[in-house]
Amino acid sequence: MSAQMNKDEAAGSGADFTPRQIAILKTAVLVMGVIFIVGFATLIGTIFYQSTQLAESGAQKAATPSGSEPVTAFDVAVGTDQTVESVTLDGDRVALHLDGPNGREIAIVDLLQGKVISRVRLKPE
């Protein structure tokens, strides 16, 4: 009875694979592992490439408006009695917060065109 039990245990434990089947299984697992590693490396490389291209193309678009040369230096008219309290940058525009005897004012400057595009005078209510 003991010999019969050992035979049944051996048959049910997965020992009925041939050496050829085990070799095929090992090869399949190895190939799938290589595909997984190559795919992961490709994914990381693509993310890195796209992020560097996005940064370069975004910097070029911000520096030159539709094919013209970027403005490197320009003057902003601020009254002699006004002081600049703060400067806020948003993309290609700058907001200058000015204070003077006539009240507060915000001058919005387009950095690509090199000129003041809007002035907002703040008055108390």
Is residue 105 assigned to a domain? yes
Is residue 78 assigned to a domain? no
Give yes or no for a contact between 84 and 96, defined as CB atoms under 8 angstroms apart: yes
Is residue 110 assigned to a domain? yes
* 77 burial level (CB within 10 Å; 0-12, 13-18, 19+): exposed
Q: Cα separation of 48 and 95, whole Å?
A: 34
Is residue 68 assigned to a domain? no
CA dihedral (59, 61, 65, 67) in degrees, to 10, reads 110
* 25 burial level (CB within 10 Å; 0-12, 13-18, 19+): exposed
The structural domain count of the chain equals: 2
Domain range enclosing 17: 2-61
Task: Give me the pLDDT at residue 1, please.
Answer: 52
Closest CA to 85 of 100, 64, 63: 100
Q: Cα separation of 87 and 123, whole Å?
A: 20
pTM over 0.75: no
Question: Could you list the pLDDT tens digit for every one of the 125 residues in the chain?
Answer: 555 555 555 555 556 889 999 999 999 999 999 999 999 999 999 999 988 887 666 555 555 555 566 667 787 888 888 888 899 888 888 999 998 888 889 999 988 888 889 888 888 77
- The residues with which 103 forms a beta bridge, in sequence order, are 100
